[in-house]
Structure formats: C-alpha cells, structure tokens
Structure 1
Amino acid sequence: MCPPTHFRVTYSINPWMDPAKPVDSALALFQWEDLRDRYRALGHTVEILDPVPGLPDMVFAANGATVVDDRVLGARFACEERTAEAPAHLAWYQANFAEVQEPRHINEGEGDFAVTTSWILAGQGFRSSLLSHSEAQEYFGRPVISLELTNPHYYHLDTALSVLDGDQDEVMYYAEAFSPGSRAVLRRLFPDALLATAQDAAALGLNAVSDGLHVLLPAGAKGLLGPLRARGYEPVGVDLSELHKAGGSVKCCTNELRSASG
C-alpha cells in the first residue's frame, strides 16, 4: 500500500475524475489508514511504499506490479500522467524480491491482472495492451485469459471483477462491463459466479479484496453483502469515498504479494 500523501485529482484519465471537484486530503488519508488498519486487525502484513511528490495516483498501489509465486512483473502505464510511477514501484520490488522483470508492453499491474489457482484473468480495452497478456503468460507460466472491457467507467479489470477465493476459482463480476464474447468466457469459466448489479458496480463494489473469508469492499455496495454472506464470506464495508473521486477503492489501494508457498 502507498499512503495518499500527495493524492489529488488534478487531471482526468477516466470518467470518475473531475478536477473541478475538490478532494479532502485529510479525509482521504483517514480513510486509507482505516483500510490499512483493518488489514492488520485481520492478521495481514501491510508493506508500505513511500509516496512520491507529483504522483497523485501512486496511492493506487495495485497498478504498480503483479506478483505471483514470488515473481514480479512490473508495470508500464498507458497514460502519460502516470508513467513516472512505474520506476518508483519497480525500485521497491527490486529491493524486496529476487525475481523482478521490467515489462516490454503496457500493463497496469493488478489493475488488469487477477490471479486464481487455474488462471490469470487479464483485462484489455482501455489500459493494458493485449501483448502484455502473452508477456505475463510467458513470465509466470500460467494460462492467461484475455477479457475485453467495453464500458469506460470500468476501465480496469479490478473495477469489474474480483477474486473471492483464488484456490477455488471463485469470482464476482459485473457482466455489462465486458464484451459479449468475454461474458461468454466468464460464464463458461465461472458458471456459479456472483453477479453484481449495476448499482453495486457503480459503487465500485467489485473493487474488493478477499482473503478467502473476509471480503473488504466499498461500504456503498450494499447489494453484495447478503449474497456474500450466503456464500460463506464475511463482507467488511470500507468507506473510501475520497479515493472514489479518482475511480479507485479497496483493490486499487492494495497490491497482493503472492508467495510461492501461498
């Protein structure tokens, strides 16, 4: 995670971002700290990446890399406003992991890569290049499933799909964020997936993090709470309303460091 010390909305690179709407910096930090503290209270270790002045979106640590089996594939950003984030993230991973690869093709880390035991699900259409999907498959040695995003409000895969239980290949997603062909693929791979409503998707309810039991998700996605409990999960609502102004929430703020031992 990376503190929102320099978080602002000073440009617009997705439909959520409006520089005319003020951001309460103190509230953004309070909300981020609440998320961090919830992870720790649940027994998780939180590593902190130092923020860099002039990079307001660096708080969205999920975009900085993808980590699978202690191997790291770095990020290469599509938008000029964020390109300087990549080396800052890469330097942290190089200092903390033995195997780190700088990517050749544009990918925005776990913004567009979601990992289960069987597959790496990979989004494209707005940010990450389709070429990055084959790059990830070659590097991680896991089958990569390409999914096309078609709604600009769901510009990253992590705004439209969340892994609930990677070991069991269980996910939840918003079908209307995907192309018809990608919806058909998702139905085939995940016939029992939890399907989000338009209202819960608009609350960024799919931008969630699950440890296999607890699902931390935006508090406004109330329609997901009952279905998650019915499946045996414990939903934990988190208020990240200030960060929503840039199109990010729980998952965007969280990059998962997956070890080879699980």
Structure 2
Amino acid sequence: MSATFDTQLPLPTAEQASQVRVPTRRRYLMCAPQYFTVEYSINPWMDPEQPVDTGLALAQWTALKEVYQQLGHTVETITPEPGLPDMVFAANSGTVIDGVVLGSRFRAEQRAAEAEHFRRWFLRNGYRDVVMPTSINEAEGDFTWTGTVLLAGTGFRTDPGAHAEAQEVLGVPVVSLNLVDPRYYHLDTALFVLDDQSDRPQVCYFPGAFSAGSQKVLRRLFPDAVIATEADAACLGLNGVSDGHNVVLPLEATALGGALAERGYQPVYVDISELRKSGGGPKCCTMELRG
C-alpha cells in the first residue's frame, strides 16, 4: 500500500502563492497494531460485531510510517503489548513539549495499562522530566500544541482539571475547548494544526464538534482557519498530521485536501479504513516528540 500525493491541484491565487509553506522535520513515536482488534466499544466508531483484519491494519500502519519517513521525518517505535489492541493509537499516551513529558491516564479501563508502557519507553529513551497525571488525561487525543498555546479538549474523555495540570507541568498557556458530538470524542478528531512554526499558527477544524462558546473562541484565535465540512469530519479527515507543508489525510478526505491545496499545502492521502473501525486515523497513530 502506498500513499497518494495529489498532483492534480488547482492553481493558487497570487496571494496564496506568496504564502510559501515550509515543511519542518518532525520526530514521531508510533506503535505497530500487532494485536489490533475491536473487542469492546468505548466510542461510536467501535463495533465488536464488525470483522477486523489485523493484517490489513498492520499494512495500513506500515504505509503511514513509510510516508513519514519519505517526507524526511524520524519515526521511533514502541513494542506493542498483547491484550492492548488500541495501543496502536500512540497519540493518547503522552504530550511532549520542549522535552517535558506529561503522560496519560485513560478514562476506559480497557486502555489504562497503556500509560505505564509508554512511561517506561520515555525513561528508557533518555527522558528524565516525565510526569504522570492525577486527572483523566488522554494526551494528544485532547491536547493540541499550536506553537503558542495548548488547545485542550474536554467533554467525553479528558477531565477539565487536566487542563490546569497540563499548564503547570508543561509550562505553556492552555485554552479549553468543549466537545459536544460523541463521534468526535477527542479533540484530534475535530481539529488539527497546519502550521505551528509562526507567530500566527494556522488550524483546521469542524465547528459542529464544538460548543457554541468554543466555536467563538476558535474564531477569535484563528480567524483564518480552514473550516472543514461534515463530510470531512465523517471520515476522520480532521485526524490529520501536518509538517507545515505536507498534510497527511485519510484517503476519503479529498474535499478537505482540495481546500488545503488552495492554501498552499500538499495533501498526502493514506488508507486508514481498518484502523478507523476503532475510531482512529493518522494522528491517533502518531505522537509527536517535541524537543
């Protein structure tokens, strides 16, 4: 399986062409879906009655990992553990900013053991400032670093108290956002950052996933955001990963890819159909190691 780089893109306007998108090399942590299956349901995407092809999930994950490497990024891996089928969704097990690690504490007991395996990985790999949270905190599932502020989701998984804890541990300003649609149970299913390297970070989000007040906050913070459609969100198109130029998206998110191309970004499409059976996409599989 290979990713698709969209070369049939509309020509940008003169204003858009002047906005040169510059990729930055990233370092990611991923976990192979060796034991992936859907044997319980903790979000609306999961149906234990639906057949799951673990081999296909592994092939899709491998293709995603290879895309990152082809784009020049470094990918670290953690050994998957039997009995933890959702460990592939590495983003939920840590938030790393400037080398400081805030671990996770899962709401669902089925995933609770994942946090300790990731904590040990950080310590084995030279991280010394590792803090495990006291509040329910599903890490980059609900914490999104924009380069200036940490956007923090709540409503279904992460407790509001975890937002204050993240600010204390990571030493960055936090903006709370309330999620209201259970299909978009984590912030990273409804919003992702396109550019975190400038004074004016750019994001993409689906307004319908957020409360009215949170929508107002997002409009105030990001007046030039890319606004996704219901169809974009429904294929987990908002679970994307951007390096400032290349944007990795689910194969079905072509409308969103077109909108991003008009802003000067390069869509890179990957097939995550099997992993989506557990409510995950590219970002869910990808924890960013910053600093």
2:254 corresponding residue in structure 1: 222
1:154 corresponding residue in structure 2: 184
1:118 corresponding residue in structure 2: 148
Note if contact 2:102-2:131 (Cα within 8 Å) is conserved in structure 1: yes
If the length of structure 1 is used for normalisation, what is the TM-score? 0.98
For residue 11 of structure 1, report the CA deviation from its aligned partner.
0.2
Q: Deviations over 1:7-27 (max 9, x none)?
A: 000000000000000111111
For residue 167 of structure 1, report the CA deviation from its aligned partner.
1.9
Note if contact 2:249-2:257 (Cα within 8 Å) is conserved in structure 1: no
1:139 corresponding residue in structure 2: 169
Q: Deviations over 1:221-247 (max 9, x none)?
A: 111111111111111000010000000
RMSD: 0.6
Indicate whether 1:48 and 2:80 are aligned.
no
Letter paired with 2:202 = E
* Pairing partner for 1:183 from 196, 208, 215: 215
Indicate whether 1:165 and 2:178 are aligned.
no
1:109 corresponding residue in structure 2: 139
Q: Secondary structure at the match of 2:203?
A: strand
Q: Which has the higher contact order (CA 8 A, sep 6+)?
A: 2
Note if contact 2:247-2:265 (Cα within 8 Å) is conserved in structure 1: yes
Give the percent of matched residue pairs that are identical in Structure 1 and Structure 2.
59
For residue 257 of structure 1, report the CA deviation from its aligned partner.
0.3
Q: How many residues align?
A: 259
* Pairing partner for 1:30 from 59, 66, 73: 59
Indicate whether 1:255 and 2:291 are aligned.
no
Deviates more, 1:222-231 or 1:199-208: 222-231
If the length of structure 2 is used for normalisation, what is the TM-score? 0.88
Give me the whole-angstrom Cα distance separating, in 1, the residues matched to 2:234 and 2:248. Answer: 16
Q: Counterparts in 2 of 1:6-85, with a 5 A limit?
A: 6-85=35-114
Give me the whole-angstrom Cα distance separating, in 2, the residues matched to 1:51 and 1:167. Answer: 32
Q: Deviations over 1:52-111 (max 9, x none)?
A: 000000000000100000110000000111111110111111222121111111100100
Where does structure 1 lack aligned partners over 5 or more consecutive residues? none
Give me the whole-angstrom Cα distance separating, in 1, the residues matched to 2:122 and 2:267. Answer: 30
Give me the whole-angstrom Cα distance separating, in 2, the residues matched to 1:6 and 1:12. Answer: 16
